Structure 1
């Protein structure tokens, strides 16, 4: 099963094309841009986990059956259900706990 590769930051709605190195994901594939991850204090506002840089799926089929053209990224844009104040409070509460201890 391939990563969904969501097309946008769920906080600010910035475009995050599949080839960008500026996308970050949590273990549930929630997707954010680098500035929003910094603002959130490396706290996913949906699950409370940490973020890792999203891998880049190759555009070219280097191995048979594996490429962005054969396993295309998602076109479904997602948005957070939380307001900026609620996000800040949530992040502030757990940001000093390392992701592996949350």
Structure 2
């Protein structure tokens, strides 16, 4: 089962690519690095931990 790579931060709507610095919780809520830091790496939806989202290589 692959992660669903969301394309915008759920808080500030900044665009995210598969190479962007972003954080996710176990439910795949997705936030940019700045918003994640401001929220002290706690998901506002489930109160779970936000961790760095792994990056994918660009498709060739």
Deviation at 1:59, TM superposition (A): 2.4
| TM-score, scaled to structure 2 | 0.89
Runs of 4+ off more than 3 Å: none
Equivalent-residue separation in structure 2 for 1:4 and 1:12 (angstroms): 19
Higher fraction of helix: 1
**Number of the residue aligned with 1:2:** 2
Local SS of the residue matching 1:32: strand
| TM-score, scaled to structure 1 | 0.55
Higher fraction of strand: 2
1:41 aligns with 2:40: yes
Larger Rg, first or second structure (1 or 2): 1
Cα RMSD (Å): 1.3
Local SS of the residue matching 1:24: strand
Deviation at 1:56, TM superposition (A): 1.0
Deviation at 1:42, TM superposition (A): 1.2
Count of equivalent residues: 60
Deviation at 1:57, TM superposition (A): 1.7
Equivalent-residue separation in structure 2 for 1:56 and 1:3 (angstroms): 11
